[in-house]
Amino acid sequence: MDVVSPELNSLLPDEIMDTEAIEDIPHSQSDGTTVQSEPDEDTSVPMETDTPVASESGFCSDATSAAQSLITSTDSTLSITTTKTTDSVTGTSITTSGLQKLSAPFTISAANHQIILNKVASSQATEAAKSAGSPQVIKQEGQKLLVTAIGKSGQPIVLQLPHTGSKAGVAQTSGDTKSQTPQFKVVTIGGRSELKPVVGSSTNQVTTLQAQQLKTVQIAKKTPASSAAPIKFIITKTVNSKGLSPQSSVSPVIAGRVLTQNSPVMPARTITLTEPHNTSIQSIPGKKIAISPLKTPSKVTVVSVASPTPSAPQKSVTLPVNVALGQQILTVQQSTSASPVKVATSQTTAQNIKPVQSVTVGGVSGSQFKTIIPLATQPNVQQIQVPGSRFHYVRLVTATTASSTGQPSGPSTSSIPTAKPMVVSTGAVRMSVPIVPAQTMKQVAPKPLTSTAQVVTATQTQQRLIMPATPLPQIQPNFTNLPPGTVLAPAPGAGNVGYAVVPAQYVTQLQQPPFVTLASSSGFQASAGIQTQARLPLNGLSTAETTSRPRKPCNCTKSQCLKLYCDCFANGEFCNNCNCNNCFNNLEHETERLKAIKTCLDRNPEAFKPKIGKGKEGESDRRHSKGCNCKRSGCLKNYCECYEAKIMCSSICKCIGCKNFEESPERKTLMHLADAAEVRVQQQTAAKTKLSSQISDLLMRTTPVISSGGGRLPYTFVTKEVLEATCECLLEQAKRAEQTHQPQAEAERMILEEFGHCLMRIISSAGKAKVDCASINC
């Protein structure tokens, strides 16, 4: 199953990934040296969760830094997710219920620009492993994901995934990887569609993109010239794993979305990202991944190639990576062989990166890839706001309770029945968020450790992804909607449903159209072909509406903005530029906020779901999920949530005296009035715009040019002398008023009157000058 269907993919905007990826890595590698994780085929390394049922995405951490990049892939699915809870050792991931993953812990090293993904053991293997009483083993069998990023020079970025994959729907064991059909994925980083693939894998598996259906996932590269320019990554994947020829010339891509490449061609370079064995996320609570707008963002999103098993969810992976200008090609290889994960950056230039703070990966001039990683010792709460910035901050936080201290080798592991990867893209931000039922996370079952296996203590460790919640559209029922601010909030009664809370402040809100890519392990059937990557309306509002309308600031006074009364909180956003008092809806009160979220979810698991969703079949596309209860407003005022959402009341509404139905004359009248008002507003806006333009033009023409070699405008009558003369006139008038002992009001009137006279003279002079100038054709 693919996370993103071609159809949906075609709907993707050209720029959907305008983000900077900054990741907080628990243990960052300071020198960016290549780190290779070991193949670890035999070693089972349980992640945070290791219940057989639980499927967890593999986590990738930066070499020493747990760069919360998660790369997972199923047989035919490759997903890269930035996550915090990374088990470093072997990039363990837990597969469950047919969810097969490929976890590829990776490190960015300066050597190769290669990211090597390790294949996660199949669910069967996991089951077997668990049944054997051993921690679940993640086999890192050799799929390599080769990602080449287009550098500043414009070299197309190619992501190649020659990996052996089994047919969709067939669970594959870890040992089956060799039998898998190699798949080829092309990832382009950069803006152009010039993608010409392809790079042979290390295993000599060169695949031909021709005759393969490629799916492009993501895109986003912004101006390479700017250091802060975000980078687009387009990832195409081959749908058809068959017919891969070992040696193939690469045909240009493809059906997928092609990126535009702004930069000149550069030789492709590979960066191998490897997850250090020693790194465990849990060891560092409260980690965050921040995407810094100041840094050149680049994000790689890997889309699952195919669905191995019907029940196996695909994971899309978003790998936020800061790519500096002139970045080179980031290559992620997924080899069929169980090669150790490597992190190598090509042309390691400046890697003067403090450990855990930033990781710079290869650069032509300086760091090509830079990952900024918050220090592990930093408080896990650090609010990041970039008002007006189009770049989004993404932070992965391990929300920890008292006991969630990182214990890399802690015996207990949390069981996550179904990790639900989600890719949420809000224009600039796209992420893959494994949603893990918090309830299951609380259930920690100690497991015996193998000598090589690293057990991650996930006890009460919550990984939180902070994302803009506002644009979050309604998520598929299986996924549940993303609640505000926190990941892994328990959803009572929701079974395996978990929540990913996405505070908005880390991300510029409403800057980009909401975008969601979702994949559900349980809900997505391969046969159904349910791949979701589409813009979904938010609360009944179209994308354009949501993007164009900034959120209103709240005015809460008593709720501390921690109840659903607060729109900010209800929308999963932090308060920002609000008028609230005693606000706790911020990172300074994260504990309270999380508690409040949990409370809300306890009360109503769907509390943070959009209220306006799709109605039943045959009904209107949009309707209120609960219906309104209006009694006095006739459902024709904004008190009514239905009316406010510009939808009509439905059968589930319990309103009295409803007039908000199709044939309602009152409603029609209101609609007409509203339309007329809107037209007036538009006209006024247009008039203002025009007037502003005229004024601006007038100022341009009339303002004396400070001679800077740029030439002088023809009508530079407001000169310094004119200004001085005007001021003298005004002063003289003031003196006159003072001498005549005029009251202050009268004095002001006289001065203003004089000022008016001065203006009139200036304008008159300007008019004459214009005429004169025109007469002489100046």
Q: Which two tokens stand for residue 367?
A: 């760091």
Tell me which of 373, 466, 630, 648 binds DNA, using CB under 7 A.
630
Spacing of C-alpha 751 from chain mean position: 57
- The answer to whether residue 489 forms part of the interface with DNA (CB under 7 A) is no
* Smallest separation (angstroms) from DNA to the CB of 626: 6
- The answer to whether residue 616 forms part of the interface with DNA (CB under 7 A) is no
- The answer to whether residue 559 forms part of the interface with DNA (CB under 7 A) is yes
Closer Cβ to DNA, 558 or 735, answer by number: 558
Closer Cβ to DNA, 535 or 611, answer by number: 611
- The answer to whether residue 556 forms part of the interface with DNA (CB under 7 A) is yes
Nearest to 466 by CA among 376, 398, 397, 561: 397
Sign of CA dihedral 724, 728, 734, 738: positive
- The answer to whether residue 629 forms part of the interface with DNA (CB under 7 A) is yes
Place of tokens 């559900």: 520
Other Cβ atoms less than 10 A from the Cβ of 699: the count is 10
Nearest to 75 by CA among 204, 209, 182, 3: 182
DSSP code for 281: G
CA distance linking residue 490 with residue 497, whole number of Å: 8
Grouping H, G, I as helix, E, B as strand and the rest as coil, residue 188 is strand
Site string for DNA, 652-681 (x = CB under 7 A): ---x--------------------------
Question: How many residues of this chain interact with DNA, rule: CB under 7 A?
Answer: 37
* Smallest separation (angstroms) from DNA to the CB of 504: 15
Evaluate whether 437 touches 418 at the Cβ level (below 8 Å): yes
Evaluate whether 31 touches 45 at the Cβ level (below 8 Å): no
For 178, 261, 433, the CA distances from 114, given in Å and listed in that order, are: 21, 20, 23
Evaluate whether 199 touches 142 at the Cβ level (below 8 Å): no
User: Three-state secondary structure along 53-73?
Assistant: CCCCCCCECCCCCCCCEEEEE
Closer Cβ to DNA, 232 or 659, answer by number: 659
Closer Cβ to DNA, 599 or 683, answer by number: 599
Phi/psi class of residue 259: alpha, beta or left (left: φ > 0; alpha: ψ in -120 to 50)?
Answer: beta
CA distance linking residue 63 with residue 356, whole number of Å: 10
Closer Cβ to DNA, 604 or 716, answer by number: 604
Residue ranges in 378-417 that form contacts with DNA under rule CB under 7 A: none
- The answer to whether residue 75 forms part of the interface with DNA (CB under 7 A) is no
Phi, psi of 419 (to 5 degrees): -75, 130
- The answer to whether residue 549 forms part of the interface with DNA (CB under 7 A) is no
The span of 186-194, 309-317, 625-633, 733-741 binding DNA (CB under 7 A) equals: 625-633
Closer Cβ to DNA, 365 or 669, answer by number: 669
For 242, 542, 564, 609, 732, the CA distances from 570, given in Å and listed in that order, are: 47, 19, 5, 9, 61
The span of 228-236, 401-409, 635-643, 735-743 binding DNA (CB under 7 A) equals: 635-643
The span of 130-138, 481-489, 612-620, 632-640 binding DNA (CB under 7 A) equals: 632-640
The span of 180-188, 515-523, 624-632, 717-725 binding DNA (CB under 7 A) equals: 624-632
Give 264's contacts (C-beta < 8 A, 6+ positions apart): 152, 153, 154
Evaluate whether 303 touches 102 at the Cβ level (below 8 Å): no
* Residues of the chain by 3-state class (helix, strand, coil), percent to 5: 20, 15, 65
Grouping H, G, I as helix, E, B as strand and the rest as coil, residue 399 is strand
- The answer to whether residue 35 forms part of the interface with DNA (CB under 7 A) is no
DSSP code for 200: -
* Smallest separation (angstroms) from DNA to the CB of 650: 12
* Smallest separation (angstroms) from DNA to the CB of 325: 42
* Smallest separation (angstroms) from DNA to the CB of 144: 48
Residue ranges in 136-165 that form contacts with DNA under rule CB under 7 A: none
Closer Cβ to DNA, 129 or 561, answer by number: 561
- The answer to whether residue 491 forms part of the interface with DNA (CB under 7 A) is no
Which strand (E) or helix (H) includes residue 194? Answer: none
- The answer to whether residue 651 forms part of the interface with DNA (CB under 7 A) is no
Q: Which two tokens stand for residue 373?
A: 């990683």
* Smallest separation (angstroms) from DNA to the CB of 468: 19
- The answer to whether residue 557 forms part of the interface with DNA (CB under 7 A) is yes
* Smallest separation (angstroms) from DNA to the CB of 580: 7
- The answer to whether residue 640 forms part of the interface with DNA (CB under 7 A) is yes
- The answer to whether residue 637 forms part of the interface with DNA (CB under 7 A) is yes
Closer Cβ to DNA, 326 or 484, answer by number: 484
* Smallest separation (angstroms) from DNA to the CB of 602: 10
Site string for DNA, 497-536 (x = CB under 7 A): ----------------------------------------
Closer Cβ to DNA, 524 or 569, answer by number: 569
Closer Cβ to DNA, 333 or 633, answer by number: 633
CA distance linking residue 572 with residue 594, whole number of Å: 11
* Smallest separation (angstroms) from DNA to the CB of 508: 21
Tell me which of 287, 392, 589, 611 binds DNA, using CB under 7 A.
611
Nearest to 576 by CA among 593, 551, 600: 551
* Smallest separation (angstroms) from DNA to the CB of 565: 4
- The answer to whether residue 646 forms part of the interface with DNA (CB under 7 A) is no
Write out the DSSP string of 586-637.
Answer: SGGGHHHHHHHHHHHHHH-TTTTS-SEE---TTS-S-EESS----SSSTT-S
The span of 315-323, 467-475, 627-635, 748-756 binding DNA (CB under 7 A) equals: 627-635
Closer Cβ to DNA, 626 or 757, answer by number: 626
- The answer to whether residue 650 forms part of the interface with DNA (CB under 7 A) is no
Evaluate whether 468 touches 56 at the Cβ level (below 8 Å): no
The span of 53-61, 317-325, 523-531, 633-641 binding DNA (CB under 7 A) equals: 633-641
Closer Cβ to DNA, 310 or 627, answer by number: 627
Closer Cβ to DNA, 209 or 538, answer by number: 538
DSSP code for 112: T
The span of 153-161, 252-260, 467-475, 628-636 binding DNA (CB under 7 A) equals: 628-636
Phi, psi of 322 (to 5 degrees): -80, 120
* Smallest separation (angstroms) from DNA to the CB of 466: 21
Tell me which of 178, 242, 549, 558 binds DNA, using CB under 7 A.
558
Q: Which two tokens stand for residue 411?
A: 């015996």
- The answer to whether residue 641 forms part of the interface with DNA (CB under 7 A) is yes
CA distance linking residue 496 with residue 36, whole number of Å: 34
Tell me which of 178, 354, 549, 631 binds DNA, using CB under 7 A.
631
Cα-Cα end-to-end distance for the chain: 69
CA distance linking residue 111 with residue 368, whole number of Å: 12
CA distance linking residue 350 with residue 358, whole number of Å: 12
CA distance linking residue 330 with residue 277, whole number of Å: 22
Residue ranges in 564-603 that form contacts with DNA under rule CB under 7 A: 564-567, 570, 599-600, 603
CA distance linking residue 486 with residue 505, whole number of Å: 13
Q: Which residues bind DNA (CB under 7 A)?
A: 552, 554-561, 563-567, 570, 599-600, 603-604, 607, 611, 626, 628-635, 637-641, 644, 655
